Amino acid sequence: MKLPVIRHFQKGASKEQLETTLEVLEHFTEHRSVTDEEMDVVGELITNICGAIEVHNNVENGMSGIEAANAFAQKVMGSIDA
């Protein structure tokens, strides 16, 4: 997870675009010829896209972009500590 990448995705793409991209990447991972290295890269992209979607949701619920990104980062850090 890279917060600057999440913010970049959130600012540059709509929630719908991110959801469509997520579906395509998930479908890609299901192909038998995907290597472990490709899976790692796609997994990182999926994580960042999911973060951007959550930031979009928080902004829709009234948070500023910075607050939404920080709330997501805190949520992730909290789940790691638990």
Spatial neighbors of 36 by CB under 8 A, at least 6 apart, are none
Q: Is 72 within the bounds of a domain?
A: yes
The confidence score (pLDDT) of residue 45 equals 96
Spatial neighbors of 75 by CB under 8 A, at least 6 apart, are none
Q: List, for residues 63-74, the tens digit of each pLDDT value.
A: 998 899 889 888
Domain that holds residue 33: 1-77
The confidence score (pLDDT) of residue 33 equals 95
Instruction: pLDDT tens for the chain, 82 residues: list them.
Output: 888 999 999 999 999 999 999 999 999 999 999 999 999 999 999 999 999 999 999 999 999 988 998 898 888 887 776 5
Q: Is 29 within the bounds of a domain?
A: yes
Q: Is 42 within the bounds of a domain?
A: yes
- Number of separate domains in the chain: 1
Q: Is 21 within the bounds of a domain?
A: yes
